[in-house]
Amino acid sequence: MKNRFKIMFLSVSILTLAACKKDEGNLPTISFKTGGAYISSDVSKSKGSALVFGINAEKAEKKDVLKKFNISKSINGGTSVSVYDQDLTGGDADKYTYDYSATLDTIVGQTCKYTFTVTNRDGLVNQVSSTVTITQ
C-alpha cells in the first residue's frame, strides 16, 4: 500500500511539474520610428531646433501586457528627469506608438539624452535612447 501511494504521489508530482509552464520573462520590444523628420540615433542639431522622436512598442508575451511608458531627459550626463509618463491600458497594452516633439535648448555644446522606456506587467523594462548635441 505504501509503495502504491509513493508511485501515485510521484506520478502526480511529475505531471504537475510538466504541466506548469514557466514564464519566459521576455522583454517588451521598443524601437524608434525612422524616416522623415524622426530622430532615431545620436545626432547634432542647431540650437533651438525642433526635435521629433517616434517609438513603437509591443508586448513580447501573450500575458505580459505593456503597463507603462516613460520619456526622460538628461542634460550633460546629469540626473534623468521624467518629461512624459503614461500608464498603458486597453489596446495600448498590446501595442503602443507615440510621437514626442520638443524644442532643443540654446546652449551650444550641451548634450541632451532622451531615453524612452516601456515596462510590462512583470516589471521587465526595455528602452532606447538618443543623445542630441547642440551646435550653432
**50-88 pLDDT per residue, tens:** 999 999 999 999 999 999 999 999 999 999 999 999 999
Q: What does DSSP say about strands 125-135 and 43-46: parallel, antiparallel, or unpaired?
A: parallel
pLDDT at 29: 98
Express each pLDDT in 78-133 by its tens digit.
999 999 999 999 999 999 999 999 999 999 999 999 999 999 999 999 999 999 99
Q: What does DSSP say about strands 66-75 and 95-103: parallel, antiparallel, or unpaired?
A: unpaired
- 30: number of Cβ within 10 Å: 19
CATH of 22-135, one of 2.60.40.10, 2.30.290.10, 3.40.50.970, 3.20.20.70: 2.60.40.10
Where residue 16 falls among pLDDT bands split at 50, 70, 90?
Answer: low
Please give the residue that has the higher pLDDT: either 8 or 64: 64
Cross-strand partners of 117? 70, 127
Q: Measure the CA–CA gap between 45 and 41, rounded to whole angstroms.
A: 12
pLDDT at 22: 47
Question: Structural domain boundaries of the chain?
Answer: 22-135
- 55: number of Cβ within 10 Å: 22
pLDDT at 39: 98
The stretches of 20-132 forming alpha helices (DSSP H) are: none
Q: Is 2 exposed, middle or buried (0-12, 13-18, 19+ CB in 10 A)?
A: exposed
Q: Measure the CA–CA gap between 128 and 29, rounded to whole angstroms.
A: 10
Query: Hey, CA dihedral for 10, 15, 17, 18, is it positive or negative?
Result: positive
Segment 33-56 mean pLDDT: 97
Segment 23-52 mean pLDDT: 94
| 9 sits in which H/E element | helix 2-19
pLDDT at position 23 over 60: no
pTM for the full predicted model: 0.82
Where residue 25 falls among pLDDT bands split at 50, 70, 90?
Answer: confident
